[in-house]
Structure 1
């Protein structure tokens, strides 16, 4: 079973294609290639599809969840969900064909609450950064 299998999302809402590096329970690096056939791109924006900034933040949360759920000393958190976003900055956009480089780090844990910091880049351009809170039943 791959660490990516810990994501509860279906394939149509998974924004991490590949796990590039994993320090279990601490951090992860992953990638996602914007294919161009994602349903949301048809309306964002017609004729000039751009990956929505909120989905860049979702990618950080998903990769952070993979890092957190892989902790060898703490079992997986049941029902882990994105429950907070702080300090999010959307600095750019990605177009179909671009590969997103995603980084996430577990900054802290308290029971079923996990704080993650992360960022998304493409071709050396920083596209987004955020701190997200994931919560579930400990």
Structure 2
């Protein structure tokens, strides 16, 4: 008797390797609409060694990236809409950093898809530690062909 098939891991829909994922698990998912993920700031992450050596805190840009990653999971999880290959963060708006996270804290990252037009998607998101809102803002992502991006010529 074969074991039942396991559901695919929603994080596998992201283009990032595990070394650049700032989401450990998806804990809520409304395919194509909304997702909530968690990330434990372990303290062993390489970026914490320099940010800041005596008092490490999570860099704000990583909070924004985490929002984009959770939004990407929400977007790519809708089986009724074709997946967007090569999904990338292309813009951020109205981002506010309202607090910090330190090692041993667990972040709760929420993202809600606000709209999609062609290969552009906008989402709103937030990052919390417990009841504390530490970041919020909007991200725009795009995806499309896997054609190589050409560097400008001089």
Please indicate the TM-score interval, normalised by the length of the shorter structure: over 0.9
| C-alpha distance after superposition, 1:7-30 (max 9, x if no partner) | 111212100101001000000011
Match of 1:63 in 2: 70
After TM superposition, where is structure 1 displaced by more than 4 Å over at least 4 residues in a row? none
Point out where structure 1 has 5 or more consecutive residues left out of the alignment: none
Match of 2:85 in 1: 78
Tell which has more relative contact order, 1 or 2 (C-alpha 8 A, sep 6+): 1
Match of 1:42 in 2: 49
Match of 2:5 in 1: none
Could you tell me which of 3, 21, 27 is aligned with 2:10?
3
Return the structure number with greater strand share: 1
SS of match in other structure, 1:68: helix
> For residues 78-97 of structure 1, what are the structure 2 equivalents within 5 Å?
78-97=85-104
**Alpha-carbon distance in structure 2 between the residues aligned to 1:75 and 1:2:** 17
SS of match in other structure, 1:66: helix
**Does residue 114 of structure 2 align to residue 107 of structure 1?**
yes
Match of 1:13 in 2: 20
Per the TM alignment, residue 72 of structure 1 is displaced from its structure 2 partner at its CA by: 2.0
**Alpha-carbon distance in structure 1 between the residues aligned to 2:20 and 2:74:** 18
Match of 2:4 in 1: none
Report the RMSD for the aligned CA atoms in angstroms: 0.9
Aligned residue pair count: 138
